[in-house]
Chain A
Amino acid sequence: MLEGVNRVGLHEWEIPVGYVAGMRVPGRIFLSESLGKTLEAGAVQQLANVATLPGILKHSLAMPDIHWGYGFPIGGVAAFSVDEGVISPGGVGFDINCGVRLLTTPLPYKDVSGRRDLIEELFRAVPTGVGAKSALKVSVRSLEGMMAQGAQWAVRAGYGVERDLMRCEEGGFMKTADSRAVSDKAKQRGIPQGGTLGSGNHFLEVQVVREIFNPDAAKAFGLTLGQVCCMIHCGSRGLGHQVCTDHIKTLESATKKYHITIPDRQLACAPITSPEGMAYFGAMAAAANYAWANRQMITHTTRQVFAKMFRIEYDEMPLMYDVAHNVAKFEEHIVDGNRMKVCVHRKGATRSFGPGAVDLPSDLSSIGQPVIIPGSMGTSSYILRGTQTAMERTFGSTCHGAGRIMSRTQAKKMKSGREIVADLLKENIIVRAHSENAIADEAPEVYKSSDEVVNVVHEVGLSRLVARLSPLGVIKG
């Protein structure tokens, strides 16, 4: 483990106050000893930097998929006092409400395995990659709907069924969105991209349930062994990126105006209750809603493809759940024995609300919130459930994915996109992307083992294993 990082429990490490000047609280990382071997000093520094921000509560936290990002580390979680704390786009990222959802199907493994025609049809139907524009036309008025009502707008516009909304974090939209704080530039970027996947690590993957760890929870989530599912991972596209870019600029001025000292310009922030802070929050919520609408529109297209190819009904593909992993939200948590409203930033981290929490649909209240952890291309994805431990330890948060350990430059030297596609095909995984480059960037080897990351959160109890899925085919940017 890196110098200055102290073990305080199994899979738990502390960055003491003083690691960087001005820390107000210690840092806490949930990490196994073997994952600790790839922990970067830059990521620890970023975690410590977050601990210097005004109003931070308890700890600056990091999940086991922690890695070096900008502003907050990826895998970072921090909650702030509403009265004394700050809000920062550096704690959310450029891709606001990047998130993931899982659709279930009534199809068994044997019907879908090796079906290249399905992957080709999904690739044709769902726009992916740089420069992709949507076939689903979004008008100026529709864009307002996407920003104000997210997935609810999409369902009412015909891109889904009412039940989908019960299966989204926040019911598919944050009610606090304020599209007046979204610039015309951001809106211009949003109009042609509704229903597009994007590039980078975003994907749509056809998967099969390979293993069930908790039969009761799996049943409640609608998962059965050998069942084919579809996972969608994407965010708020250019609209969200522009919101982040625009507001970092105004918050940089606000940081000076409110005399806040920050160790990294990407942590530009403002008091939560200030006009600048509230403007960012309103715009961020509007972008988050756009992302929920976007994933809902992709869901619609995916259902249409499956319905046509397998002669199943559109509503035979229920949404298991949809989670955000780049977002800031107001939530109630217990701090020093008192229930209080706090502003939780999750940057590459997933909400993991335990049994009985508000915002859970009534039929899942005794189980806990479904947590979706996508694997890297070619590796397992996991479904977990939220826990009371997460409520107590991490403001109801857990990991969000595998976490990169290798740069894109290293990845490209190791294997070409063509070799990766051939290797995955040997394992009966069909990969379809616009460029070999995009595949080489995302080789399975460039990520931490998702198995190990998930084991840490399971053992610490930040979320508990329900099921494991493995890929059959994937489309990428």
Chain B
Amino acid sequence: MSFEEISHTADVKIRARAPTLEALFSETFKALMQVMYGATRSGGIVREITVESPDNESLLADFLSEVLFVSEVEGLVFADARISMNGSRLTAELTGEPFDPVRHSGGSEVKGISYSGLSISHDANGYMLDIIFDV
């Protein structure tokens, strides 16, 4: 399982790989949190998110958009996500901590999750995706 930032002129492009779809979503979620708040994040506070969408790409975009919302309005920085998927429904248990300006100011605010170029592919090695975060 991994994610990396790929060169993109205007925004942040992430490439993630994982053996399962759930793990792929979890990696992309971690990439999002790292872009926004840097690498030093820990758990403690738990939040649950549920989204329903017709296809995997929408499910991922909706999940990450919901993370952006909860993170911003509750002032929480998340470290980990335990994701379960059932057809068009995704449930995620997020663990995180309150935003700390000293430790979490290293990143860029993500304005939105773009559908441009978003595709989830699958081969013998597992799942892969490219996704663009608007910063």
Residues A404 and B65 in contact, CB atoms below 8 Å apart: no
Residues B9 and A40 in contact, CB atoms below 8 Å apart: yes
CB distance from A269 to the nearest CB of B (A): 13
Name the B residues within 8 Å of A74 (CB-CB).
Answer: 10
Interface positions of A from 222 to 257, Cβ below 8 Å from B: 238, 241-242, 244-245, 248-249, 252
Partner of B115, one of A188, A199, A265, A434: A265
How would residues 19 to 38 of chain B score, 1 for a CB under 8 Å from any chain A CB and 0 otherwise? 00000000000000000111
Name the A residues within 8 Å of B101 (CB-CB).
Answer: 131, 434
CB distance from B73 to the nearest CB of A (A): 5
Given contacts A68-B10, A70-B134, A409-B6, contact A249 B62 (CB under 8 A): yes
A404–B8 CA distance with the chains assembled, in angstroms = 10
Name the B residues within 8 Å of A13 (CB-CB).
Answer: none
Which of the candidate stretches B42-50, B84-92, B106-114, B121-129 sits at the interface with the other chain?
B106-114
Interface positions of A from 127 to 167, Cβ below 8 Å from B: 129-131
Q: Which residue of B lies closest to A133 (CB)?
A: B75
Residues A241 and B104 in contact, CB atoms below 8 Å apart: no
Partner of B9, one of A188, A198, A242, A406: A406
A196–B35 CA distance with the chains assembled, in angstroms = 20
Name the A residues within 8 Å of B108 (CB-CB).
Answer: 130, 199-200, 408, 437-438, 441, 477
Q: How large is the interface on B (under 10, 10 to 19, 20 to 34, 35 or more residues)?
A: 35 or more
Residues B69 and A67 in contact, CB atoms below 8 Å apart: no
Name the B residues within 8 Å of A214 (CB-CB).
Answer: none
How would residues 75 to 87 of chain B score, 1 for a CB under 8 Å from any chain A CB and 0 otherwise? 1000000000000
CB distance from A31 to the nearest CB of B (A): 15
Residues A131 and B104 in contact, CB atoms below 8 Å apart: yes
A241–B69 CA distance with the chains assembled, in angstroms = 10
Name the B residues within 8 Å of A441 (CB-CB).
Answer: 108
Q: How many A-B pairs fall under 8 Å by CB? A: 111
Residues B8 and A407 in contact, CB atoms below 8 Å apart: yes
A88–B25 CA distance with the chains assembled, in angstroms = 27
Given contacts A94-B111, A441-B108, contact A238 B72 (CB under 8 A): yes
A410–B13 CA distance with the chains assembled, in angstroms = 12
Query: Does A204 belong to the interface (CB within 8 Å)?
Result: no
Q: B10, B69, B99, B107: which has the most chain A beta carbons within 10 Å? A: B10
CB distance from A431 to the nearest CB of B (A): 15
Query: Does A301 belong to the interface (CB within 8 Å)?
Result: no
Partner of B99, one of A131, A248, A266, A408: A131
A152–B104 CA distance with the chains assembled, in angstroms = 35
Residues B109 and A130 in contact, CB atoms below 8 Å apart: yes
How would residues 88 to 119 of chain A score, 1 for a CB under 8 Å from any chain B CB and 0 otherwise? 00100111000000000000000000000000
Name the A residues within 8 Å of B38 (CB-CB).
Answer: 437
Partner of A189, one of B10, B73, B112: B73
Query: Does B93 belong to the interface (CB within 8 Å)?
Result: no
Q: How large is the interface on A (under 10, 10 to 19, 20 to 34, 35 or more residues)?
A: 35 or more
CB distance from B44 to the nearest CB of A (A): 17
Residues A248 and B115 in contact, CB atoms below 8 Å apart: yes
A434–B105 CA distance with the chains assembled, in angstroms = 6
Query: Does A71 belong to the interface (CB within 8 Å)?
Result: yes
How would residues 403 to 424 of chain A score, 1 for a CB under 8 Å from any chain B CB and 0 otherwise? 0111111100000000000000
Interface positions of A from 202 to 226, Cβ below 8 Å from B: none
A367–B78 CA distance with the chains assembled, in angstroms = 52
A40–B37 CA distance with the chains assembled, in angstroms = 30
Query: Does A124 belong to the interface (CB within 8 Å)?
Result: no
CB distance from A475 to the nearest CB of B (A): 14
Residues B116 and A266 in contact, CB atoms below 8 Å apart: yes
Residues B116 and A477 in contact, CB atoms below 8 Å apart: no
Query: Does B135 belong to the interface (CB within 8 Å)?
Result: yes
Query: Does A180 belong to the interface (CB within 8 Å)?
Result: no
Query: Does A274 belong to the interface (CB within 8 Å)?
Result: no
Residues A265 and B116 in contact, CB atoms below 8 Å apart: yes
Interface positions of A from 7 to 31, Cβ below 8 Å from B: none
Name the A residues within 8 Å of B109 (CB-CB).
Answer: 129-130, 198-200, 477
CB distance from A406 to the nearest CB of B (A): 7
CB distance from A83 to the nearest CB of B (A): 28
Given contacts A70-B115, A93-B134, contact A130 B9 (CB under 8 A): no
A134–B122 CA distance with the chains assembled, in angstroms = 45
Known: A93-B111, A438-B108; 10 extra A-B contacts, CB below 8 A, are A69-B10, A94-B111, A130-B107, A238-B72, A241-B112, A244-B111, A265-B118, A408-B135, A434-B101, A477-B108
Q: Would you mind naming 13 contact pairs between A and B with Cβ atoms under 8 Å apart?
A: A68-B10, A74-B10, A94-B111, A94-B112, A130-B108, A131-B75, A241-B112, A245-B113, A264-B115, A268-B115, A409-B6, A409-B7, A477-B108
